């Protein structure tokens, strides 16, 4: 009697489950496309206030997306920035970078705790196209200069589709699956040069053309553009659109040298030297920015082709597209070229998130919350309904996308650091590199810095210099960071508070 009663209860529960799910659509995991440019300044596109850059496809995507106006790089140079976005960890924590003492490769175990490997384990088909920029090895080792022969050895278990290289694809790329004739044709030797960005776009579309119908995918596309400005790296027909165009010059562009920069920066930072060579006169500045605009337009063209392909295949309604860059570029502002240093042009990031699952009536708004690049990985996992591992230090901002985030629980500052020193980069292969680094610190040639950006202020400190050098800006009222308030007595309490918060956030980043 008891057995019959038990069977009857189970039968009724089964009917209840079936009736509750009857008529409901199956919820499919979303497809995720992560688009990252190289060295693209945050405002070099129409949706960020510069229509002269001519980015119609990105602007159209942004009109139906969430556009973040205060997204920041935790570190603003390619190798550590890319590792930060994959692992959700700060540079001081993962220690992957160009120069000692944070000059390690990314270990296999740490790579397996990044968003691509976790999505792979969850059943996603993974693709990677473009610039890799870091090396995965079995154990973390030094120095960390990228080695392309490690790609297949240490990444093939994570990526099903791969076409990547370090700086450019002119000498070919490492690619798999090896029997994909279409992929091989895109990068075949002797092919008429169509431009690296167009080839990246073709590989991106090839991934979608080979995508199985009943499997979710994550495609990470790392454009080589807009870094460098040589003819061989551009699609020259696009350059014709800008060659006679006068582009606006930021008010904080400096012709020649900038006397306001700290002496340690003026004497040692790579950006000072490169500014003299590339952006220190009106003619050089215009030539340079036209070339960045050209490459941005080429990327925009690929974004248009991507959206069209997703529509053609009926995938757009279940696809999330994230667009950002690995760091900015000064383009002559502050009397600097390059990146790394913690001024806005370097550390502020474009961030656009389109979610095809969202009803059209709820799409298209701007968000002012402070976002860090460490947030990318945990957010991607959250959007796929996967819990991020404890190793990830970023915050999941997915609730900002649907306006359900309790803003009283959101952060009031983002942490940033710059651990790159040009002199150390040139010494990276020497056995006594740690002694060289200490000698550089002892002789006050280090300009490593860390700092924070709050709703209103930016504070950072060159912490290895003796005495320490500090910069404080009221970015709300001084967005071009022209008036350093460190010695202004009216801001002493602000300075004291931000000093303390910076050190607290640094110690948290180390954990």
The better pLDDT of the pair 261, 147 is held by 261
Secondary element (H or E) of residue 502: helix 492-510
Cβ contact 418:448 at 8 Å: yes
Q: Is pLDDT at 46 greater than 70 in this prediction?
A: yes
Nearest to 491, CA basis, from 468, 458, 461, 444: 458
Q: What residues have CB less than 8 Å from 507, skipping those under 6 apart?
A: none
pLDDT of 11 strictly over 60: no
Tokens standing for residue 300: 């925009």
pTM: 0.94
Residue 146 has what pLDDT? 75
Cα–Cα distances in angstroms (integers) from residue 90 to residues 38, 250, 306, 391, in the given order = 19, 30, 31, 10
Q: Looking at the domain that runs over 31-404, which CATH code has it been given?
A: 3.40.720.10
Q: What is the pLDDT of residue 6?
A: 45
* Structure token digits, residue 177: 């699956």
pLDDT band at 25 (very low <50, low <70, confident <90, very high): low
Q: How far apart are the C-alpha atoms of 450 and 418, rounded to whole Å?
A: 6
Q: CA-CA-CA-CA torsion for 60, 410, 448, 350, nearest 10 degrees?
A: 0
Q: What is the pLDDT of residues 430-448, one digit of tens each?
A: 999 999 999 999 999 999 9
Residue 5 pLDDT more than 70? no
Ranking 143-152, 419-428, 499-508 by mean pLDDT, the lowest is 143-152
Residue 3 binned pLDDT confidence (cut-offs 50, 70, 90): very low
Tens-place pLDDT, residues 319-334: 999 999 999 999 999 9
pLDDT tens, position by position, 382-411: 999 999 999 999 999 999 999 999 999 999
Check if the beta carbon of residue 424 is closer than 8 Å to that of residue 438. Answer: no
Phi, psi at residue 472, to the nearest 5°? -135, 130
Confidence band, pLDDT 50/70/90 cuts, at residue 23 = very low
Give the residue-averaged pLDDT of 249-276. 97
112-116, 143-147, 332-336, range with the lowest pLDDT: 143-147
Mean pLDDT of 265-276: 97
Q: Is it true that 31-404 and 415-510 share their CATH fold?
A: no
The rounded radius of gyration (Å) of the Cα atoms in the chain is: 24
Exposed, middle or buried, 52 (CB in 10 Å: 0-12/13-18/19+)? middle
Stretch 217-233: mean pLDDT, rounded?
92
Kindly indicate whether the domain formed by 415-510 is annotated with CATH number 3.30.1120.10: yes
Q: What is the mean pLDDT of the chain?
A: 93
Question: Quick one: CA dihedral 40, 35, 298, 174, positive or negative?
Answer: positive
pLDDT bracket for residue 1 (50, 70, 90): very low
What's the 3-state SS for 81-105?
A: HHHHHHHCCCHHHHCECCCCCCCEC
Provide, rounded to the nearest whole percent, the portion of the chain with pLDDT above 90: 89
**Where are the domains positioned within the chain?**
31-404, 415-510
Instruction: Please tell me the distance from the alpha carbon of residue 306 to that of residue 464, in angstroms, as a whole number.
Output: 46
């Amino acid at each position: 009697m008891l057995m019959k009663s038990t069977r009857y209860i189970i039968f009724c529960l089964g009917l209840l489950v079936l009736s509750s799910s009857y008529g409901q659509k199956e919820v499919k995991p979303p497809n995720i496309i992560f688009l990252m440019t190289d060295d693209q300044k945050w405002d070099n596109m129409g949706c960020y206030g510069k229509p002269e850059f001519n980015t119609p496809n990105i602007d159209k995507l942004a009109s139906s997306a969430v556009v973040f106006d205060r997204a920041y790089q935790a570190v603003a140079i390619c190798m550590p920035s890319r590792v930060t976005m994959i692992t959700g960890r700060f540079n001081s924590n993962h220690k992957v970078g160009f120069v000692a003492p944070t000059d390690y490769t990314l270990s296999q175990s740490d790579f397996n705790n990044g968003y691509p490997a976790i999505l792979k384990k969850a059943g996603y088909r993974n693709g990677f196209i473009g610039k890799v920029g870091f090396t995965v090895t079995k154990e973390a080792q030094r120095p960390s200069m990228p080695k392309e022969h490690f790609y297949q050895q240490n990444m093939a278990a994570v990526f099903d589709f791969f076409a990547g290289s370090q700086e450019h694809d002119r000498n070919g790329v490492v690619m798999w699956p090896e029997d994909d004739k279409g992929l091989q044709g895109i990068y075949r030797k002797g092919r008429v040069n169509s431009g690296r960005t167009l080839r990246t776009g073709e590989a991106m579309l090839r991934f979608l053309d080979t995508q199985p119908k009943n499997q979710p995918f994550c495609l990470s596309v790392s454009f080589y553009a807009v870094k460098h400005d040589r003819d061989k790296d551009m699609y020259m027909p696009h350059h014709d659109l800008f060659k006679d165009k006068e582009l606006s010059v930021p008010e904080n562009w400096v012709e020649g040298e900038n006397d306001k920069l700290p002496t340690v920066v003026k004497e040692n930072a790579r950006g000072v030297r490169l500014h003299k060579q590339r952006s220190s006169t009106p003619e050089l500045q215009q030539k340079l920015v036209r070339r960045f605009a050209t490459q941005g337009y080429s990327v925009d063209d690929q974004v248009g082709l991507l959206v069209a392909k997703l529509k053609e295949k009926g995938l757009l309604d279940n696809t999330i597209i994230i667009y950002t860059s690995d760091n900015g570029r000064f383009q002559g502002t502050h009397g600097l070229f390059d990146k790394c240093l913690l001024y806005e042009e370097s550390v502020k990031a474009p961030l656009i998130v389109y979610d095809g699952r969202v009803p059209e009536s709820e799409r298209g708004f701007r968000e002012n919350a402070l976002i860090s690049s460490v947030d990318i990985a945990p957010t991607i996992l959250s959007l796929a309904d996967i819990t991020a591992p404890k190793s990830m230090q970023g915050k999941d901002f997915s609730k900002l996308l649907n306006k359900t985030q309790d803003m009283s629980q959101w952060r009031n500052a983002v942490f940033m650091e710059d651990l790159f020193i040009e002199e150390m980069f040139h010494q990276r292969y020497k056995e006594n590199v740690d002694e060289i680094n200490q000698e550089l610190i002892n002789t006050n040639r280090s300009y490593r810095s860390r700092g924070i950006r709050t709703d209103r202020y930016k504070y950072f400190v060159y912490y290895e210099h003796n005495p320490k050098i500090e910069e404080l800006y009221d970015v709300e009222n001084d967005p071009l960071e022209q008036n350093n308030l460190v010695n202004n007595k009216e801001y002493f309490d602000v300075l004291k508070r931000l000093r303390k918060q910076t050190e607290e956030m640094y110690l948290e980043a180390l954990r």
